[in-house]
Each structure stands twice: as structure tokens, then as C-alpha cells.
Structure 1
Amino acid sequence: MPAEELQRAAPDAVQERTLLIVDDDAPLRRRLARAMEQRGFEVTDAESVTAAGAAAAAVKPAYAVVDMRLDDGNGLEAVDALRDARPDMRIVMLTGYGNIASAVTAIKRGAVDYLAKPADADQIAQALLADGARELPPPPEEPMSADRVRWEHIQRVFEQCDRNVSETARRLKMHRRTLQRILNKHAPRG
């Protein structure tokens, strides 16, 4: 390859595109891995905090996508393990139960972005590859409805209260029967 072509190819060839995906939802993890491979990433995946630490130590990926809730712990614990393996790793947190406090904590621990599920592969790739200049992303084509956001928040609090209806109702300042009716309904669309 002539020197001129090598210089033009160097930025892409030198840029390391190794990615670790940490999510306990196996079908989602596989779909995301395939989508990110199509975008030029070399993907390794893990299903837990423990597996993430081991994979990060072995591979030392340049990028990581970590779900906030994992079977054996919290995604923030995985961020700590990933930072130990490679301090310059660019980490994006994913969550189905987004809130400001956990987003701030994730950023303080070293994540570069925090995306609410369902985030598509293009959004994730954009967050991973951003040059650091923060600009607002375009609005989603189909954002979640207010009813869906409310329903997901109630489900999250219900799970955090170990599925105790009375405790969940107390924390949400809601009548217990009202909460039971909401919990018995299917998730709103959108």
C-alpha cells in the first residue's frame, strides 16, 4: 500500500472499535451485538457484573454499553470494574427505568452518556463515538407516551419494594386499590 493511501486509511485503521455489551436480557444483547457489528464494532458480550469484569480484564475494550439493572447487581458496579480494566473506556449506560439521580451517578462514575431504553443502535453508536461536544440529540421519532412513562415508573418502584403493594402505594402516595388496578392492567402502548 503506498504511503499516501496508508496515511488516509490510518485514522480508521488505528481507531480501536472493540465493544463490550453488558445486559442480562440475552435476546436484546444478541440483537444489539449484531447491530453494532454491522456498524464496524468488534463485539464481546457479558450477562452480569461478574462476567463484565472478567471480559473487560481479558479484552480491554475501548467501548462498553452497560444496562443499569443486572441479575447479580447494578450496572454502576460494572462501570467501576470496567474503569479498573481500562480507564479510558467510553461507557454508555442503558436503562428502562431512567431517572435523573441514576444518570448523574453513572456520569460521575465514568459513563459518557445515559440512554433510556429502547435506544436504537444508531443512538448508541452516536453516543459511543461522540467527540465530547455535548449537543442535544434529535427528539425521538416515537417517544414513550406519558401513560407509558408513568406505568414504567410504577413498575420500577413496585420491584424495588419487593413487589409489596402496600409499601409501593405508600411510597407513591397512592391509594392501594388504585395501585392494584394499575398493576393488573397491561402496559400502555408507546
Structure 2
Amino acid sequence: MGGGGGSSHSETVRKRDPDSAEISALQSLLYSQYTPMAGQLGGDYAAAKENAAKYGQQYDKAYGGLADLTESGNLPAGLTDAMNGYITRSMDKSLGSVMAQMGGKGVLNSSVTGRAINEIGSNTADAFAKNYLDAYGAASGNYGTLMDAAGKAQSQQYDNLTAQYAPLMEFFKTVRASEDQDDYDTVVYQDGRK
């Protein structure tokens, strides 16, 4: 019986050719270009996050105002103060005008004055009711506009950051994909022959 068997040995070989001098120089240039940008990313991200938080607070404030308006029907304080001031001035002006007219005719007594005040009060209430709905619609529209603007500005912070660092991310993604390739293989030689 013959026993045979030759010898064998294995060797690990690189499957890809080594990078050329030009490719190595290009990689070095790209690394030198993108490395400072990578160092800046953390600070820029922190600033974008801080600004986005400010816009988030603006959104929350506007949303809270809209929720309060919807739930309670109460107009914002500044708006009601302005409306009340306008109505009061208009009522005082009308009352003064009526009193002057009646006084000029010599018909100024408690009955006429009482009727004039009641009529002015009724007209004022009607005007307020009509203007309330307009003010309500304007206030809710303004809150919606504020929320929309804050939401867009908030997301724009991250869109700007993404656009600014897109080349850096693409470069490191390409480098990573290149590094993840299986680069070496084991070759087994039989009978001492290559």
C-alpha cells in the first residue's frame, strides 16, 4: 500500500492591489481637508440643537396660546385690551355727541339720557359681538402662522447642518465601505507547488 501525500502550506495574500501613490496622495489630501470639518461638527451640532430648542419653545408658546383660545374662547390679553380701549373711546365719543345734540336742543333729561345710554350700550355690545369673531379668527390664524414658522425654522437648523456636512459624511461613508471589504484571502498550496 502506498501512502502518499505531499506536503502543503498556506499563505495569506492581499486580494486587492496596493493603493497607488496617486491614490494615497489623494486620500491624504481628503483626510486633511475633512478632518478639521469633522472636529467642527460637534460644535455646529450643539449650536443647531440650541437654536432648534429656542424655536421649539416658540412653537410650544404659540400652541399653548391656541389651545387656550380654543378651550376658553378668551382672546389674548393684548388684543382684548386694545378692543376694549377702542370700544370705550367710541362709546364715550358717541355718548358725548348724543349729550351735546340733546343739550343743544334743550331736551336733556334723565329719560332721554337713559335711553341714549342704553342705545349706545346695545350698539356697543352688537359691535363687540361682530368684531369678536373676526378677532378670534385673526388670533387663531396668527397662532397657526407662528407655529408653522417656528416648526419650519426648527427643522431648517438640521437641514442646514445636513447640507453643510454632506460631503464629509459621504467621504467617510465611502472610506468605511472600502475598509469593510474583505481584503485578504488564504491560499493553500499542495505538493509544494505554487
| TM-score, structure 1 as length reference | 0.22
Looking at both structures, which has the greater relative contact order when contacts are Cα pairs under 8 Å and sequence separation is at least 6?
Answer: 2
| Higher percent of residues as strand | 1
| TM-score, structure 2 as length reference | 0.22
| Higher percent of residues as helix | 2
